C-alpha cells in the first residue's frame, strides 16, 4: 500500500472512531494528515458524516488550499489546518472535534486547567482557550496561528477542541485524552474543585516531557 492510500484509510479510520465515540456528530469536525516530507494534505470533505466516509472521498490538497485530487469540497476549515502545517514541521496530523464536554467548557468560556492532572500535563501540556471568531472563516486560521507554536491542543471558543500530532494516531489519542480530562475536570468541580499537585510537581512533569521529546528527536536523527 502506498503512502497516499495508507493516509486516506487512516483519515477514514480516525473519523469513524471520532464518530463512534461521540466526539463528533454527523458532518461535524474535521481530520487531516500530511504526507511525510511533503506539502500534500489529505483532509475530510465538507458535508459528509464522519462515520461513513470512504477513502476515495478524502480530498488531497496542497498547503495553498488547491485541490490536487478529489471531486468533493474539502472542509471549510482547511485554512486552519494548512496554517498549522505551515508553522509546525513536526505536526503531520490534525483532529478537530465537537466533543461534548470540552466543547461545553469552550461555550462557557471556561479554560481547562490541567495543572492538577499529571497525564494531561505530560501528554498535552497547557490547553489554551482561543478567542472566538466565526467558524469556517479565514480569520480562524489567523487567530489560531497565535497559539500553534507553543501548544499541541487548544479549545476554540464556542466551537470545540483541536489536537495535533506527529501522526494521526497521536492526534486522535490526544483528542480522546482531552475529552476524558474535561469530564474529570467537570466532576472535580462538582466535588468541590480539584486539589493542586505538590509544590514543584508540575515543573517535574514538564521536565519528563521535555526529556521524552529529546530522546525521540535523537532517535529520528540516528
Model pLDDT for residues 166-213, shown as the tens digit of each residue: 999 999 999 999 999 999 999 999 999 989 888 888 888 877 665 554
CA atoms within 13 A on the CB side of 169: 1
Q: Is 142 helix (H, G, I), strand (E, B) or coil?
A: helix
d(C-alpha 170, C-alpha 123), whole Å? 10
Count CB neighbours of 111 within 10 A. Answer: 16
Kindly list the distances between the CA atom of residue 142 and the CA atoms of 34, 46, 72, 133, 134, in Å, as whole numbers in the listed order: 20, 21, 25, 10, 12
d(C-alpha 58, C-alpha 122), whole Å? 32
Question: Average pLDDT in the 69-88 region?
Answer: 96
Does this model's pTM top 0.85? My answer is yes
CATH number, domain 3-113+125-172: 3.40.225.10
The pLDDT value given to residue 208? 66
Which among 49, 65, 40 is positioned nearest to 57, based on CA atoms? 49
pLDDT band at 222 (very low <50, low <70, confident <90, very high): very low
**Percent of the chain scored above 70 by pLDDT?**
93
- The chain-wide mean pLDDT, for the chain, equals 92
Beta-strand runs (E) in 102-219: 129-130, 153-156, 160-165
Q: Which of 13, 40, 77, 119 is catalytic?
A: 77
Q: CB-based contacts of 99: which residues, under 8 Å, 6+ apart?
A: 22, 23, 24, 160, 161, 175, 178, 179, 182
Pairing of strands 153-156, 129-130: parallel
DSSP lists the bridge partners of residue 161 as 155
d(C-alpha 104, C-alpha 33), whole Å? 27
pLDDT of 221 over the 70 cut: no
The pLDDT value given to residue 67? 97
pLDDT of 116 over the 80 cut: yes
- Whether 169 sits among the annotated catalytic residues: the reply is no
Amino acid at each position: 500500500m502506498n503512502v497516499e492510500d495508507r493516509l486516506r484509510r487512516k483519515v477514514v479510520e480516525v473519523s469513524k472512531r471520532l464518530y463512534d465515540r461521540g466526539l463528533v456528530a454527523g458532518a461535524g469536525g474535521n481530520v487531516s494528515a500530511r504526507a511525510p516530507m511533503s506539502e500534500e494534505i489529505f483532509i475530510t470533505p465538507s458535508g459528509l458524516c464522519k462515520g461513513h466516509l470512504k477513502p476515495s472521498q478524502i480530498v488531497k490538497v496542497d498547503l495553498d488550499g488547491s485541490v490536487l485530487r478529489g471531486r468533493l469540497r474539502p472542509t471549510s476549515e482547511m485554512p486552519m489546518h494548512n496554517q498549522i502545517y505551515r508553522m509546525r514541521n513536526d505536526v503531520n496530523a490534525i483532529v478537530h472535534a465537537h466533543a461534548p464536554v470540552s466543547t461545553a467548557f469552550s461555550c462557557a468560556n471556561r479554560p481547562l486547567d490541567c495543572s492538577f492532572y499529571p497525564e494531561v500535563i505530560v501528554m498535552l501540556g497547557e490547553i489554551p482557550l482561543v478567542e472566538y471568531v466565526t467558524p469556517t472563516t479565514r480569520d480562524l486560521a489567523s487567530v489560531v496561528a497565535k497559539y500553534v507554536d507553543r501548544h499541541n491542543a487548544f479549545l476554540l471558543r464556542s466551537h470545540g477542541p483541536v489536537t495535533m500530532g506527529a501522526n494521526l494516531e497521536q492526534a486522535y489519542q490526544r483528542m480522546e485524552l482531552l475529552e476524558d480530562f474535561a469530564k474529570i475536570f467537570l466532576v472535580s468541580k462538582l466535588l468541590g474543585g480539584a486539589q493542586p499537585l505538590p509544590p514543584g510537581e508540575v515543573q517535574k512533569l514538564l521536565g519528563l516531557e521535555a526529556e521524552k521529546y529529546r530522546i525521540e528527536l535523537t532517535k529520528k536523527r540516528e
